[in-house]
């Protein structure tokens, strides 16, 4: 098991009104692959501690993006209260299956629901950092335009990366797709690809079923569920 590190918050960036990116300085961090996550531990003065998992948002350094869950125990602290200079403990990197390596030659299909964009953004960033030309397609389901993370970066042209935004509840003016859950039409037509699906449990299960229905080999569909985590 990897050891706990003390991580000092050095920078925050609001992605939207409910999600924040936190950049940490972690002496001794061993490095990681795109798609891996960390376990974060917060400890109160009386010794009570809470642990949650958060995906690494980029290929280098320890950068997390946290979507605030109303009434949550940990995410409101990370997105509203924690300030540069504050410290927490984290352990990682964790996970060896839901990862993408820049030398992977197969085309990649990324399917994100809500905060599930975080490890998939790490894969897009890793591809760019490595100068890889693997074709990438991202389908990103998000409730409304206000909930988009990494909007500037995703809407900027990135050769070889195509981005489809699927708003589930409210679309911006002029958006061609009506609001609604992901359908096979959003994910298809079938083309050979390594698939990575990440988001809330129900979203991941429904999306993986759509991919299998389109003809994707289940052995090439990797999933990461962002259900509630903790001790």
Ligand X SMILES: Cc1cc2nc3c(=O)[nH]c(=O)nc-3n(C[C@H](O)[C@H](O)[C@H](O)COP(=O)(O)OP(=O)(O)OC[C@H]3O[C@@H](n4cnc5c(N)ncnc54)[C@H](O)[C@@H]3O)c2cc1C
Which spans of this chain sit near ligand X (rule: CB under 6 A)?
A: 37, 52-55, 65-67, 69, 71-75, 115, 118, 200, 224, 226, 228-230
* Identity of the residue, 74 or 187, whose beta carbon is nearer to ligand X in the bound complex: 74
Task: Report in angstroms how near the CB of residue 48 gets to ligand X at its nearest.
Answer: 13
What CA–CA distance (Å, rounded) separates 228 from 111? 20
Task: Report in angstroms how near the CB of residue 210 gets to ligand X at its nearest.
Answer: 20
* Identity of the residue, 55 or 134, whose beta carbon is nearer to ligand X in the bound complex: 55
112, 138 contact by CB (below 8 A)? yes
Q: Which two tokens mark 184? A: 């096979």
* Identity of the residue, 89 or 107, whose beta carbon is nearer to ligand X in the bound complex: 89
- What is 104-168 written as a DSSP string? --S-EEEEEEGGGHHHHHHHHHHHHHHT----EEEEEEESSGGG-SSHHHHHS--TTEEEEEEES
* Identity of the residue, 71 or 81, whose beta carbon is nearer to ligand X in the bound complex: 71
Task: Report in angstroms how near the CB of residue 231 gets to ligand X at its nearest.
Answer: 10
Sign of torsion over alpha carbons 159, 198, 38, 43: positive
Task: Report in angstroms how near the CB of residue 50 gets to ligand X at its nearest.
Answer: 6
């Amino acid at each position: 098991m990897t050891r706990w590190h003390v991580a000092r918050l050095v920078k925050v960036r609001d992605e939207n009104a409910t999600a924040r990116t936190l950049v940490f300085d972690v002496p001794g961090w061993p490095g990681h692959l795109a798609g891996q996550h960390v376990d974060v531990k917060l400890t109160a003065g009386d010794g009570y501690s809470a642990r949650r998992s958060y995906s690494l948002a980029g290929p280098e350094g320890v950068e997390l993006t946290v979507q605030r869950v109303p009434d949550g125990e940990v995410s409101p602290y990370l997105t509203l209260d924690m300030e540069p200079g504050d410290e927490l403990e984290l352990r990682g990197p964790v996970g060896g299956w839901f990862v993408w390596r820049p030398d992977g030659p197969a085309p990649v299909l990324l399917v994100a629901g809500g905060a599930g964009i975080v490890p998939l953004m790490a894969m897009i960033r890793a591809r760019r950092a490595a100068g890889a030309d693997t074709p990438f397609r991202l389908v990103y389901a998000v409730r409304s335009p206000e909930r988009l993370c990494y909007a500037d970066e995703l809407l900027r042209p990135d050769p070889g990366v195509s981005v489809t935004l699927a708003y589930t509840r409210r679309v911006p003016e002029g958006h061609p797709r009506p609001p609604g859950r992901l359908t096979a039409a959003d994910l298809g037509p079938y083309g050979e690809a390594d698939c990575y699906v990440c988001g809330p449990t129900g979203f991941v299960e429904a999306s993986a079923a759509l991919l299998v229905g389109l003809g994707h080999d289940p052995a090439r569909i990797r999933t990461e569920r962002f259900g509630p985590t903790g001790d």
